[in-house]
Amino acid sequence: MMRARGAARYTLALGFGLLLAPFAARAQQPAAADDSGVDADNAGDGYTPAEGSASPPAFQVSGYVDLGFAHAQGDGTSFPAGDTRLPADYGVDTFATAVNSRGDVASTDAGGRFVNGFLPRSVGIGGHASPLVNVVDFDLRYNVPAAPLMFFSRLQLLPRFTGTGDDTRPLLEQAFARWVPFDAQELALSVGKFDSVVGIEYLDNESNIRIGVTPSLLARYTTGQSLGAKAFYRVQIPAAWSAVSLNLAATTSGSFVESLQMPDVSLTGVPVGSGRLGYELNLPRFQLKLGGSGVYGPRNDQQDRQVLQRVLDGDLRIAVAGLYLNAEYVHVDEDEGHTPKFTSLGVYQLVSAFHERGYYAQLAYGLAIDAGALHKITIYGRYERRHAWFQGFTPLLVDRITGGLRVDLWESVIVKGEVLINRELAGSPSVPNNVQTLSVVYSF
């Protein structure tokens, strides 16, 4: 009897429960068909490679091949016909006819006139349109297992490297060890040959990173590599989505590019000091970076440590909604020397004091596209202005307007086309030296 009563209660309760079930379910899930879903019990905890392999492999090789096609007006130089001033390279901007990311120009052939080493590297194509192998780059990286130590080297093959374009030279552009001594601090110490710490253009100096094809007219003063030691330290300010960083270096030479000084040896025995103080605002859809940097020390084309070089630089970067604004001001002063100067191009007799004031601003808009091979299209424009003078020679004022288009294909190919309009505003006759250049970069 007791059992029968219990069964009846159970049946009643179950029946009542079943009657209410739809409404109860609806009450728990207001729109059950829309808000819930099937739980097939497939949710896992994810995948992490076996211990030690979650990090990048210890040894990595990457790099890129940069193929180009370029044409410069006139004879590929900025030397005006009939200009008899000497040295010829003191009266013009010899870096104007850049054709690739390294700033190599179409030509530096002065027609037999005397030049004094204020020259870039040249691909030697003159005024002829020509295909180019700009750079074949190999980046080798070794992360020491279980230690915060990394070795990095960047080896580049630079075909057509000499003025006559008949040579291929390997260049060890960078080779350094980087040590991160503390887990809880953003401190990185590097020793070896590395990029300068001045300004911002060195950050995208390589053609597989640079938005456009050519460097600015001021890159010659800020994007060189040299031997030494550097320390980078950064403090995050989470409440303000900000960070402040300090980058300090002591090196054999300053931040000038290789063709203007001796980067791999110290001619004075006194290091050149350089540094940059930076501020970052990293909001989700707006990033602002500001920096002030400088160089102070002996000119490294001189053996007299009393002959100094000084560089001041201010930089600005803004990124918002696919727009990128990069701007930089560069101020250079070099003392006059009294002995011949030694650069990577040779030995030159005049060591004039030199001064430069200039700036550039580049605006780019990148539109990400996911359409098969086409990944991104970027249009960009750059304006730059450079006022420079050698002591006792005519000051030169030039500007340049650059426009270009970059197309990113797949994940490893970049095609860039660019037009450079060079203008001599004062101190030099106007000369046809505009450039059209194309670069196809394959990264591996």
Partner 1 sequence: MRSRPFRRLVFIVGSVSMLAAGASAHAAPASQRTGGWLGEELPLPLAVRTPQDLAVKQVAERQYLIFNLLAGGKLAWDAGDWATAANKWEALLRLPALDPEIDRVIRPLAHEARAKAGGAPVAETAPAPAPSTTVPAPATAAATETSPAAREARITVAVSGTLSGGGSQGPGGAVIWLKRHGGETPRPAPAKGKVIDQRNKSFMPHVLAVPVGSKVDFRNEDAIFHNVFSLSKPNDFDTGLYRQGASYSQVFKKAGPVQLLCNIHSSMLGYVYVVDTPYYTQADGSGAFMIKGVPPGEYDLSIWHEGASKELHQRVTVGADGVRGLEIKVAGDRRSPSFLPDKSGKPRQTQLGY
Residues numbered 409-428 forming contacts with partner 1, rule: CB under 8 A: 410-412
Per the CB < 8 A criterion, the answer to whether 396 and 93 are in contact is yes
- Kindly write out the interface string for residues 222-241 of this chain, putting x where it contacts partner 1 by CB under 8 A and - elsewhere: ----------x-x-x-x--x
Residue range at the interface with partner 1 (CB under 8 A); choices 70-78, 158-166, 183-191, 299-307: 183-191
Per the CB < 8 A criterion, the answer to whether 77 and 43 are in contact is no
Q: Is the dihedral of CA 49, 55, 59, 61 positive or negative?
A: positive
Structure-derived torsion over alpha carbons of residues 11, 16, 17, 22, reported in degrees to the nearest 10 = 140
Residue range at the interface with partner 1 (CB under 8 A); choices 9-17, 123-131, 297-305, 342-350: 9-17
Q: Does 319 engage in binding with partner 1 (CB under 8 A)? A: yes
Residues 257-276 that bind partner 1 (CB under 8 A): none
Residue of 439, 384, 370, 363 whose CA lies nearest to 406: 439
Task: Give the residue, chosen from 144, 186, 244, 395, that forms a contact with partner 1 under the rule CB under 8 A.
Answer: 186
Encoded amino acid at 330, one letter:
V
CA-to-CA distance for 332 and 294, rounded, in angstroms?
9
Per the CB < 8 A criterion, the answer to whether 107 and 124 are in contact is yes
Task: Give the residue, chosen from 15, 131, 181, 432, that forms a contact with partner 1 under the rule CB under 8 A.
Answer: 15
Residues 84-123 that bind partner 1 (CB under 8 A): none
Q: Does 277 engage in binding with partner 1 (CB under 8 A)? A: no
Q: Does 150 engage in binding with partner 1 (CB under 8 A)? A: yes
Instruction: Report strand pairing: 354-371 vs 374-390.
Output: antiparallel
Q: Does 1 engage in binding with partner 1 (CB under 8 A)? A: no
Q: Does 167 engage in binding with partner 1 (CB under 8 A)? A: no
Task: Count Cβ atoms below 10 Å from residue 348 Cβ, excluding itself.
Answer: 19
Q: Does 357 engage in binding with partner 1 (CB under 8 A)? A: no
Q: Does 141 engage in binding with partner 1 (CB under 8 A)? A: yes
Q: Does 62 engage in binding with partner 1 (CB under 8 A)? A: yes
Residue range at the interface with partner 1 (CB under 8 A); choices 105-113, 187-195, 268-276, 351-359: 187-195
The least CB distance from residue 374 to partner 1, in Å, is 14
Task: Give the residue, chosen from 126, 292, 314, 366, that forms a contact with partner 1 under the rule CB under 8 A.
Answer: 366
Burial bucket for residue 360 (CB in 10 Å: 0-12, 13-18, 19+): buried
Per the CB < 8 A criterion, the answer to whether 211 and 362 are in contact is yes
Q: Does 369 engage in binding with partner 1 (CB under 8 A)? A: no
Q: Does 444 engage in binding with partner 1 (CB under 8 A)? A: yes
Task: Count Cβ atoms below 10 Å from residue 337 Cβ, excluding itself.
Answer: 19
Q: Does 51 engage in binding with partner 1 (CB under 8 A)? A: no
How many residues are there in the chain? 444
The least CB distance from residue 29 to partner 1, in Å, is 6
Residues 29-48 that bind partner 1 (CB under 8 A): 29, 31-34, 36-48
Residues 192-211 that bind partner 1 (CB under 8 A): 195, 203-204, 206, 208-209
Burial bucket for residue 371 (CB in 10 Å: 0-12, 13-18, 19+): exposed
Task: Give the residue, chosen from 188, 198, 308, 388, that forms a contact with partner 1 under the rule CB under 8 A.
Answer: 188
CA-to-CA distance for 155 and 424, rounded, in angstroms?
36
Residue range at the interface with partner 1 (CB under 8 A); choices 4-12, 212-220, 398-406, 423-431: 4-12
Residue range at the interface with partner 1 (CB under 8 A); choices 19-27, 72-80, 221-229, 335-343: 19-27
3-class SS at 79? coil
The least CB distance from residue 369 to partner 1, in Å, is 11
Longest dimension (CA), the chain: 127
Backbone phi, psi, residue 25, to 5°: -60, -40
Residue with smaller CB distance to partner 1, 185 or 306: 185
Residues 6+ apart with CB under 8 A from 441: 64, 65, 66, 67, 207, 208, 413, 414, 415, 416
